[in-house]
Structure 1
Amino acid sequence: MKLSLSIQLFLLSCVYSICCTDAVTIQSNPSANESSIETEVNKTVTLSCVVQDPVDGEELQWYRNGELVSLKDENSLEESHLCVHPVTTDDNGALFTCQLKANATRKASIQLVVNYAPDLNGSEELRAEEESDIVLSCDVRAYPPLTVVWKKGGALLDLSSSTYHTSNDGITAKLTISNVKREEHEGLYSCVATSSIYGVKSKSFIITVDDKVMKFPLGPTIAGLVVVVLTILLAIFSRRERITKCFKKVRH
């Protein structure tokens, strides 16, 4: 049985009404770029959650990375505001979601993108003995990620040498020098990080190589002395009668 055109239009209008009722949107300051907000450390981000055509007393909820955010009662009805202040490095990548408490399918989400520079500056003095190993470490946590290179005496370090080993997990960049030699490894080193936003940052290291010190085997020596002392005491104890007679003869 075919439905009349007027009935079809009526049903379509009902479907459209159901789909679009309680639409949730998030407005932000600074303005979002599609589904993300770009900001920096120590800035403030304000989020406002709005329901289109709300029902009286309709309650909203905020989630940060899936965890419920505590709100005051008056800040959860029909319209809700959330302030992120100050923005920290931990907020980079954080996903904020606003939804209807009575219907979790009605929701909107926005993500923070936090730009921050690496904490690279100053210099550090290090000492190492000949033939030992030494590790140089730089904190390279930053966003966007950095490009890191190592230099010695201002020139790019030749990493083809088997004594140099580098690693970078996005948090710490390390240069390990194995089997240190004064004529080869003593001098000024630096880790140089290049950021597409913050430019070039660097930290320097001054390495001094000392002569190798022959380490005294303290543990075995103490053990040997204990054995010797106990042996002497045992010998004296076992010959105590003879020693006593000798003293008596000396007195007579």
Structure 2
Amino acid sequence: MKLSHSIQLLLLSCVCSIYCTDAVIIQSNPSANGSSIVTEVSKTVTLSCVVQGTADGEELQWYRNGALVSLKDENRLEQSHLCIQPTTTDDNGALFSCQLKTNATRKASIQLVVMHAPDLNGSEELWAEEESDIVLSCDVHAYPPVTVVWKKDGALLDLSSSAYHTSNNGITATLTLSNVKREEHEGLYICEATSSHYGVKSKSFIITVDDKVMKFPLGPTIAGLVVVVLTIVLAIFSRWGKVTKCFKKDHH
């Protein structure tokens, strides 16, 4: 049994609505791994957006984390290209999307994964007075995230003591030394970050503890001097009459 002409046209229309739509795809260098591109900081990433289908002269738009990217006029029609150079730590996790200007449902997206090691190196010398507090800080911002340990004079620091307190928000790791004492806290401290990709990075701190300096109580001293001066002035005024009389008596 043959299908009528009208039914054949209807089926053809349905097939075309499934397969003949304009597809937007993103090509990249380096190549994507699924829906993401893995690169390293200071590298170059190029993205190319292409329309596949029946549309001619379709205008394309790029978005970075939902914000529209400014494009030149000649870089909008049917094909569009972006160059991220150099990649920075701020690009890690950034989502780039390309879509038809006339139909936002026709789009493709790709996410950047930017590998970078923590910025740890060198040595820092610090001085602290007895009974004061001191804070050591390390930049541990990295991808993949790192694990951080603190060492003192080559051995893992015993953090069970109330004299030490640590914190780590994934960007900065800190070690706080409270109520420092020369025999307990003076020495070489190391902030050591271990990355599954970059290995071990570290920064050292040389802590010297000085004797506590007695600070001059400037505020109370000034207040005391003011009281003394006012007392002298009031005393002079209270005796001014007698002084004047003595002066007149001597004058006669």
**TM-score normalized with structure 1 length:** 0.93
The residue aligned with 2:32 is 32
Q: Deviations over 1:9-38 (max 9, x none)?
A: 754543332233101100000000000001
Question: Shift in Å at residue 248 of structure 1?
Answer: 4.9
Question: Shift in Å at residue 53 of structure 1?
Answer: 1.9
Label 1:6 to 1:195 Cα distance change in 2 as closer, same or farther (>3 A): farther
Contact 1:54 1:78 in 2 (8 A): no
State the SS of the aligned residue for 1:118.
coil
Q: Which amino acid aligns with 1:106?
A: R
Q: Which amino acid aligns with 1:128?
A: A
State the SS of the aligned residue for 1:131.
coil
Cα RMSD, aligned residues only:
1.9
Whether 2:110 is the aligned partner of 1:110: answer yes
Whether 2:14 is the aligned partner of 1:15: answer yes
Q: How many angstroms apart in 2 are the aligned matches of 1:106 and 1:229?
A: 85
**TM-score normalized with structure 2 length:** 0.93
Q: Deviations over 1:195-217 (max 9, x none)?
A: 11111111000111111222232
**Aligned pairs (5 A) from 1:46-195:** 46-195=46-195
Q: How many angstroms apart in 2 are the aligned matches of 1:118 and 1:23?
A: 40
Matched residues, number:
250
Q: Which amino acid aligns with 1:227?
A: V
Label 1:56 to 1:220 Cα distance change in 2 as closer, same or farther (>3 A): same
Question: Shift in Å at residue 40 of structure 1?
Answer: 1.2
Q: How many angstroms apart in 2 are the aligned matches of 1:5 and 1:31?
A: 48
Structure 1 stretches lacking a partner, 5+ long: none
Deviates more, 1:227-236 or 1:109-118: 227-236
Q: How many angstroms apart in 1 are the aligned matches of 2:55 and 2:6?
A: 27
Q: How many angstroms apart in 2 are the aligned matches of 1:125 and 1:16?
A: 73
State the SS of the aligned residue for 2:141.
coil
Q: How many angstroms apart in 2 are the aligned matches of 1:238 and 1:72?
A: 88
Q: Which amino acid aligns with 1:40?
A: E
Percent sequence identity over matched residues?
Answer: 80
Q: How many angstroms apart in 1 are the aligned matches of 2:8 and 2:193?
A: 63
Q: How many angstroms apart in 2 are the aligned matches of 1:204 and 1:9?
A: 78
Q: How many angstroms apart in 2 are the aligned matches of 1:46 and 1:77?
A: 17
The residue aligned with 2:232 is 232
State the SS of the aligned residue for 2:228.
helix
Contact 1:26 1:49 in 2 (8 A): yes
Structure 2 stretches lacking a partner, 5+ long: none
State the SS of the aligned residue for 2:173.
strand
Q: Which amino acid aligns with 2:33?
A: N
Q: How many angstroms apart in 2 are the aligned matches of 1:213 and 1:168?
A: 32
Q: How many angstroms apart in 2 are the aligned matches of 1:125 and 1:234?
A: 54
Label 1:236 to 1:66 Cα distance change in 2 as closer, same or farther (>3 A): same
Q: How many angstroms apart in 2 are the aligned matches of 1:18 and 1:72?
A: 32
State the SS of the aligned residue for 2:175.
strand
State the SS of the aligned residue for 2:176.
strand
Label 1:39 to 1:6 Cα distance change in 2 as closer, same or farther (>3 A): farther
Question: Shift in Å at residue 233 of structure 1?
Answer: 0.9
Contact 1:58 1:77 in 2 (8 A): yes
